[in-house]
Each structure stands twice: as C-alpha cells, then as structure tokens.
Structure 1
Amino acid sequence: MTFQVPVVDIAPYVQGGSPDEKAAVARAIDVACSTVGFIQILGHGIPLDTRAGLAAAMDEFFCLTLDEKKTYRTPSGINRGYSPPKSESLSLSLGVESASRMNDFFEAFNVGAAQSDYPDAEVDPVHYAENVWPDAAPGFEPRVSAYFAEARRVANTMTDIFADALGLPAGFFDAYTGHSLDVLRMNNYALPPGTVDLDGDLTGMGEHTDYGIVTVLWADQVAGLQVLGADGSWNDVSPADDALLINLGDVTARWTNERWMSTLHRVKPPIVDGTIERRRSAAYFHDGDFDALIETLPSCISAEHPNLYEPVTVGEHIAAKLAGSRAGVRNEKAAREAARVLAAQQQ
C-alpha cells in the first residue's frame, strides 16, 4: 500500500462553516491522526505574503556569517536564539544513541512565547524566556512575528478540530493552553562544501517525535523530510502547493493513549551533484502550559486498550526531551518511542 499523507481543507473552521461542514473536517482529521499522524492542510488562511515574509526573514538571518550568527546563541537550557550545526542530536531526545553524538547538521533559530506575553500568569522566565532578536538582520523580527501570530492561530484552530474529532467538549484544550509554551523553530539545511562527509550516513535532523500537542510546519518543496509509516518504512513527504504540514506531538499521543500517534520523522538532506540542496523549514510547536498535567483521556482507555502512560506535566516531559537533544543526555523515559526507532532502523 502506497504511503500517503492525507490532505484536509480546514476552511470550514477558519471561515465559519456549517456544523455539517465542520463535522466532515473533524472526521477526516480523526482518520488522518489515527492512521498517519501527519496531515496536509489547506484553507489555513495564512496569507501568501506572510509566508513569503517568513522565508525572506530566514534568508536574511541565515546568510550572515557563522561568527555573526553565533553571537545570538543562548545556553542550552534557554530555548531561544541560534543553534549552530552539529550542536544537537534529536535522536537522543528518544533515548537512542546516534553513531556520533550531536551530529545533526542543521542550523536553527528559535523564538517563542515569552513571560511578557502572559502578564496575568505566573510563569518561569527561564522556560518563557524573552526572545533574542538579531539586530544584524533588521527585517527579521517584524516578519517572523507576523508569521508567529498566524501560526498560533492555526494551532489553536487545530485543537478546536481535535476536540470535535475526539468527542470532547468545545474548548476542552483551552484549560491546557492559556499560557502555552509555544516555540517557532526556523531550520536551515545548507553547509559550505567540505563541511561534512557526503559519503557517510548524513543526518540533517535525527529521527524524533515532536514534544507537545501539535506542530504547524511550513517547508520548502524540497525533498528531505521523511515520515515513518505503520509498516516501519521511511517515506518522503513534501508539502503540496499552498499546504502546511501538521503533525502530532507526544502530549497528544499520551492524551489519546496512542489512538493518535506522535509520528516519528527525520530529515535526510538531498545531495545534488555532490552538494547539499538547501532546504528551509519553520516548525511552530504548540506545546501546552508548562504546568499542565497531562492524563490519559478516560474515553481512550478500555479493556482492549489499557492505559499506557502515567500522568506527567508538560514541563517535565519537555525538559527530558530537551536534555537529550540539546545537552546530549539520553532520555530514559521514551522507551516506547525508542523501540519504534530501533525497529525502523532494522528495515
């Protein structure tokens, strides 16, 4: 059976469709989340100019020299600013040892929801750190901020759809996302010739699951993203025209007792004529409130499907994952995900 990422038009939720139209969207999302865990969404409503602005902002920053970009680094415990190539290993977030630690060659820049965005909430300024904006790229902040606001809207729309698809009360997820720990990670896959060995098993971004509730992904239509299928095979995925990619995170898998899976994915960079073809992506991670307690939904527990997960806060879960990817500390609490990675590597 050919692997396919379902395409769903969510316009009825964005533009105020009828109850029947929304119900059809919710059913389609349920099927996609139950079978693939990745979705191509159309009708998201993010203007083309805003998406083009994001791409231009990324070009402006990533075209700076490496020394300039490194001035915007933050400590590994602060999920903001610049991450240079080979400073992370996403596979360690699942507790899987890579052949060479900290070997993911992508570079990235992170911005996120800060303490100042939630003046009425008591939040930790470390986890809700203020953003580091590169003054060497003056067009970066306004363009990225414009896209961030649109991506947040889409993420909130997706949780509205999730509530309907799971038969939950309208607004169910609001209680867990009032001060959501949201991050936009902009990735650049391109290195100067000679920086990496193209004859080796090159890793753009190691196999991993996303950490939170849902991810909204903008990406170039360039090969590289691969998604793990139910049969254990890795499959190439590229966004359709005007589409954004949606995938589920670990928090949603926990909530639904794996009725919906947080799908494993990775980036294997395309090599054309002996050089890496540049690829850009920007992932908006909608992770939930740092102090929100995630417990399996009772409707997803039965004699046939006993509860797989102990309660955990969003903060505890994400801290363990980030310690793996950023600090090189293998995550010992991701046994189920690690088993899936190891099984796939044997294919």
Structure 2
Amino acid sequence: MSESDFLPVIDLAPAREGKFAQTGQAIGAAFSRSGFCYIRNHGVDEALIRAVHDEALDFFHAPMTEKLTCKPQQAVRGFNALNRTTMQGAQNPDYKEFFQIGLDLPADDPAVLAGQPLRGPNLWPENRPAFRAAMEAYFEAIGACGRVLLQAVAASLGIAPDFFAQKYDRPLQRSQAIWYPPHPADRLADQFGVAPHTDYGCITLLWQDETGGLEVQDLTGTWMAAPPIPGTLVINIGDLLSRWSNRRYVSTPHRVTNRSGRERVSLATFYDPDYDAVIDPRDLALPVSQVPCDPPVLAGDYIIGRIRDSQKARSTEAPAPRRV
C-alpha cells in the first residue's frame, strides 16, 4: 500500500460547507484502513498556529523554575516536564515537555467541587499574556475544526451529523503544545520522543512543524513516516472511537522519533466527549448481524485511567472504566 493510500490528504472544505457525506466517505475509508489521514482547508488560521508555536517555544526555553510554577495539579493542566509520561509497554519515559490546557472551569463549578478528574481551571505562567491569548484562541479554533470533523465522521457511519454534538456539551478537549528537545548523543536505542502507543479518546488533531519525526505503523507492522505537509493537520482516531464504531475504525500505533538533531514542536489536541458520555457501539448504526465487541463505558473513566497508567500514578482519582 502506498503512503498516499495509507495516509491520504482529505479536503475538509465540503464538510465546512455542510456537505458531510462527501467528506465522510473519504474519512470512512481512511479510518477503516489506517485510522489516520491529513486534512486541508481545516479552517485554523496559519498565523494563529505560528503564534502558538512561537509563544510556546519561548516558554519552553524559559528557566525550569519559571515553568514549574505551572506544575499540574488535579486536572492535569499546565507544564509537564521531561520524563512525566511513560507509554504502556515502554522501557523509558517519553523525551518531551508539554503544556496542556482544557475546558476552563472555575473552582466552584459543580464538576470541580465533585472532584471529577480532568476538570478545573487552566494554569498559566505569570507575565506571559501573549502565550495565554494564543493558546486560548487555538483551543477554540481547533475545537471548531473538531466539531466539523465529527459531523463528517457521523456521516461516514450512517448516523445523524449531530450525533456526536450531543455527547460534547462540555467536552474533555485537551490541547497541548509539545516540545521535543534534541536527543542526547548517547540516547538509548529505545528512547522515543513518544513511545509507540495508541491514543486514548475519540479523535486527535495534530499540527507538526517542519522537523518531522511522526511515524505510523502500517498493516504489516512496518513504521511509515507521516511527514509534515504544509497547510494540513494530521488526524487520527483513538481507542474510544474504535470501540464506539465496533472496531470498524482502527486505532493505530504511532510514535515520535526525533532523529533530526534539532528541537521539534507540535500542537496536539485530543478532542474527546463529556466525562459522563456513554460510549456504546450499539448507538452507531451497527449492522443487524453484528454484536458489540466491547461493553459500554464512560468516556472520562476510560481516558483518566489511561492517563494515570502513562504517569505511573494511579490513585483514587483514577477509577477503573465503568460498564454502564
């Protein structure tokens, strides 16, 4: 299979004009084959992307004492230092730093007061208003892109275009600016920027700089480069959408190997449903002859469990996924 077949470039413009079936057909083919594609005409302003890149890079170059003022608390927001995450099955922590934001909820919001994981206010470094403004604007713009994309996904599955919107009232969207420093000369052979893994949630929207390093595992187990293509975002599905689609769509292993000798920046958004959204494959137009491959679970329980696994810090805040 050629790279263009395995990682096709799909035009999102028809979906942004309300023509979901046209885009959905292409997305359905890509997600059933590899779970990955690129999208162009995504609607996120390139000047905004560049502003986030530049402000994030300036932040990552700041002294560690400044960055650690935004050390994550209960909502997994803020600055995450090197060695914070270890993918399941990996021997070494990921060699990256990242800054994460989500839906900004005040401390007195009922979900926050109830101790719901992944909920809370965002954390921001002092004296960096431009960084905050850029990140917040990007959060909104990439979320709007995600909403359109899910309408096309719904069309691809033969369900109403607004199906997913009903599950995204207060979504568990997490947007990250990620910095991959140059690997040291004596790095271990199994040291990755991000070790091989599948994503946890529904869809991921990724912008990557010109450095490259993203690789996707094809159907034969071979690692295939997913190089940056100007004007596009990389899209892939996660385990929740694979479960939801009754495995019709593939959640594919991928990794980052930064062999460039230069630093690398990417912007990753995990666009996931409400915490209490029920992920039940029976809702997504299963053929009569099919039975569900997986039991229903709550989206938030599943995602926080996977996050805690990656951080090697399970606690009472990380309940096992509940069958519902």
Does residue 107 (structure 1) correspond to residue 92 (structure 2)? The answer is: no
**Distance in 1 of aligned mates of 2:291 and 2:259:** 41
The question of whether the paired residues in 1 share the 8 Å contact of 2:118 and 2:304 is answered with: no
The question of whether the paired residues in 2 share the 8 Å contact of 1:160 and 1:170 is answered with: yes
Output aligned runs, 1:1-347, within 5 Å: 1-4=1-4, 5-14=7-16, 16=17, 19=19, 22-75=20-73, 77-89=74-86, 91-92=87-88, 96=89, 98-100=90-92, 103-116=93-106, 122=111, 124=114, 126-191=117-182, 194=184, 197-198=186-187, 200-271=189-260, 276-297=261-282, 299-300=285-286, 303=289, 305-327=290-312
The question of whether the paired residues in 2 share the 8 Å contact of 1:225 and 1:268 is answered with: yes
Q: Note the alpha carbon deviations across 1:25-72, whole angstroms, 9 max, x for none.
A: 111111111111111101111112111111112112111012221221
SS at match of 1:139: helix
The question of whether the paired residues in 1 share the 8 Å contact of 2:216 and 2:226 is answered with: yes
Q: CA deviation at 1:320?
A: 1.3
The question of whether the paired residues in 1 share the 8 Å contact of 2:111 and 2:119 is answered with: no
The question of whether the paired residues in 1 share the 8 Å contact of 2:282 and 2:292 is answered with: no
Q: TM-score, normalised by structure 2?
A: 0.89
Q: Are the structure 2 counterparts of residues 322 and 315 from structure 1 closer, same or farther at C-alpha, using a change threshold of 3 Å?
A: same
The question of whether the paired residues in 2 share the 8 Å contact of 1:301 and 1:307 is answered with: no
The question of whether the paired residues in 2 share the 8 Å contact of 1:211 and 1:287 is answered with: no
Structure 1 gap ranges (5+)? 335-347
Q: CA deviation at 1:301?
A: 5.2
Aligned sequence identity (%): 29
Letter of the 1:157 counterpart: V
Deviating 4+ runs (over 6 angstroms): none
Q: How many residues align?
A: 312
The question of whether the paired residues in 1 share the 8 Å contact of 2:15 and 2:22 is answered with: no
Q: CA deviation at 1:197?
A: 2.7
**Distance in 2 of aligned mates of 1:277 and 1:117:** 40
**Distance in 2 of aligned mates of 1:301 and 1:221:** 42
Q: CA deviation at 1:254?
A: 0.8
SS at match of 1:148: helix
Moved more, 1-10 or 148-157: 1-10
Letter of the 1:283 counterpart: A
- Root mean square deviation of aligned Cα: 2.4
**Distance in 2 of aligned mates of 1:78 and 1:152:** 19
Q: TM-score, normalised by structure 1?
A: 0.83
